[in-house]
A and B are shown apart, each in its own frame.
Chain A
Amino acid sequence: MAIKSDKAQIIPGVSRYSRSQRYSKRGLYLIKKKAAETKKEAAPKSAPPARAAHAANKDLVESLTYSKSRFYPADTVSKPKANHKAVRPTKLRSSIKPGSVLILLAGRFRGKRVVFLKQLESGLLLVTGPYRVNGVPLRRVNQAYTIATSTQIDISGVKIDSSINDSYFAHEKEEKLKGTEEEFFGEGAKKREAPANKVAIQKEVDNQLIPIIAAQPLMKSYLKSSFSLTKGQAPHLMKF
């Protein structure tokens, strides 16, 4: 029998009461006694008014046939713990603000310096090189894989297309010529082209960002250059 009551368990699977305590609480000894008496007298009549016995008298048949359930299972079924965790939105690192220059640390654009535009609903960061400056398109990155620099670009006037959300970055499924020879040798494979709407959106973002970047001396070539550590540099001791 699984112990159902929450109160009866300290933690799932561990009873609050000892075996003898449970025994006295359940009051089954009364039933046993009763059952024994009924066997003797064969006439169960006025039951003792005890509280435990009252419950026991509910079902006479059960009390009579109690001996069947005299055994308790060796292994109690453990109750799964209640999960109190809630899914909260990813907190943006305090050092990252819209317009911050970030250094990417992973992926195919690692080492590139990019401009942070906004945080998406999934918690990922929307960044861009801009594409025309250093070849990094509009892209989602995890903030854990970036170094936030203190360099800022004023992007308060930049309008980001509302269609850029997490679903914007979903991959489009393409039909595959599975298992054929042509597929294996890549014959007749179409060259994937960037979708026209995405190209247009990228251009729109670039056109807004580039004048801002060009206004700051050396900023464009800074974004163009990639980050690397040199001899004697320890990133945890450096300021960005």
Chain B
Amino acid sequence: MDLRSSTITIIYHYVTAKRLVQVGRVVVLNHGSNTGRIAVIVDILDHNRALIDGPTTGVHRQIISFSHVTLTDIVMNKLPRTIGTTALKRAIKAQHIDEAWNKTAWAQKLAVRNIRGGLSDFDRFKVMRLKKQQRVIVQAQINTLKKSSA
């Protein structure tokens, strides 16, 4: 079957889907040691698997099941099918894909979660204290605003 025509049928049937499996689609890995890293779909093998590559994030070129990745909103422009690793790296840098990913709330949330996971016991205590202080300040501001508006 011609791949291009199969992609068209998918679009036809699921026109409401916002993120499509397509060459150039940036995905986040959610399984294994590369969890949380991004990669790019380089080729689609069948309805379960794709060839991905992440030369800027340390994800090796590999065949991966769609159940092990999550599609993002980011798609690379004009990416030919089965592009090589070096060319892909150049394209990612030229299109500022990593920066675009890091800007998303999703990436920032993952980064914070990573930092929080690596905190020591004393660090966790400090965070707890700072959050308490923050709460006091915010609550005081809310109260003054409430009073002034009433």
User: Which A residues are within 8 Å of any B CB, using their own CB?
Assistant: 101, 103, 113, 147, 149-151, 218-219, 221-222, 225, 227, 239-240
Measured between beta carbons, the chain B residues less than 8 angstroms from A227 are 121
Measured between beta carbons, the chain B residues less than 8 angstroms from A113 are 121
A225 touches B122 (CB 8 A): no
User: Contact partner of A222 among B117, B118, B122, CB < 8 A?
Assistant: B122
Which B residues between 100 and 150 are near A, CB-CB below 8 angstroms? Answer: 117-122, 125-126, 129
Measured between beta carbons, the chain A residues less than 8 angstroms from B129 are 218, 221
Measured between beta carbons, the chain A residues less than 8 angstroms from B120 are 149-151, 239-240
User: Which B residues are within 8 Å of any A CB, using their own CB?
Assistant: 117-122, 125-126, 129
Q: Distance (Å) between the CB of B10 and the closest chain A CB?
A: 38
Q: Distance (Å) between the CB of B20 and the closest chain A CB?
A: 34
* Least CB separation from B122: chain A residue: A151
B126 touches A149 (CB 8 A): no
Secondary structure at the B interface, as helix, strand, loop or mixed, is helix
User: Contact partner of B125 among A147, A150, A225, A239, CB < 8 A?
Assistant: A225
B121 touches A151 (CB 8 A): yes
Interchain CA distance A101-B117 in the complex, whole Å: 20
Which of B117, B119, B121, B125 is the most central at the interface, judged by chain A CB atoms within 10 Å of its CB?
A: B121
B122 touches A149 (CB 8 A): yes
Interchain CA distance A113-B121 in the complex, whole Å: 10
B125 touches A101 (CB 8 A): no
A239 touches B117 (CB 8 A): yes
Q: List 15 A-B contacts (CB under 8 A).
A: A101-B121, A149-B121, A150-B121, A150-B122, A151-B122, A218-B125, A218-B126, A218-B129, A219-B122, A221-B129, A222-B122, A225-B125, A227-B121, A239-B118, A240-B121
Q: Distance (Å) between the CB of B79 and the closest chain A CB?
A: 38
- A-B pairs, 8 with minimum CB distance: A151-B122, A149-B121, A240-B121, A150-B120, A222-B125, A222-B122, A218-B126, A239-B118
Q: Distance (Å) between the CB of A227 and the closest chain B CB?
A: 7
* Least CB separation from B124: chain A residue: A238
Measured between beta carbons, the chain B residues less than 8 angstroms from A101 are 121-122
A239 touches B122 (CB 8 A): no
Which of A150, A227, A239 is the most central at the interface, judged by chain B CB atoms within 10 Å of its CB?
A: A239
* Least CB separation from B128: chain A residue: A225
Measured between beta carbons, the chain A residues less than 8 angstroms from B125 are 218, 222, 225
* Least CB separation from A233: chain B residue: B124
Q: Distance (Å) between the CB of B134 and the closest chain A CB?
A: 15
Measured between beta carbons, the chain B residues less than 8 angstroms from A147 are 121
Interchain CA distance A218-B132 in the complex, whole Å: 13
Interchain CA distance A220-B78 in the complex, whole Å: 59
A103 touches B126 (CB 8 A): no
**New A-B contacts (13) at CB < 8 Å, excluding given A221-B129, A239-B118, A240-B120:** A101-B121, A147-B121, A149-B120, A149-B121, A150-B122, A151-B121, A151-B122, A219-B122, A222-B122, A222-B125, A225-B125, A239-B120, A240-B121
* Least CB separation from B120: chain A residue: A150
Interchain CA distance A218-B133 in the complex, whole Å: 13
Q: Distance (Å) between the CB of B117 and the closest chain A CB?
A: 7
Interchain CA distance A91-B117 in the complex, whole Å: 29
Interchain CA distance A149-B121 in the complex, whole Å: 7
Measured between beta carbons, the chain A residues less than 8 angstroms from B122 are 101, 149-151, 218-219, 222
Which of B118, B120, B122 is the most central at the interface, judged by chain A CB atoms within 10 Å of its CB?
A: B122
User: Contact partner of A103 among B117, B118, B121, CB < 8 A?
Assistant: B121
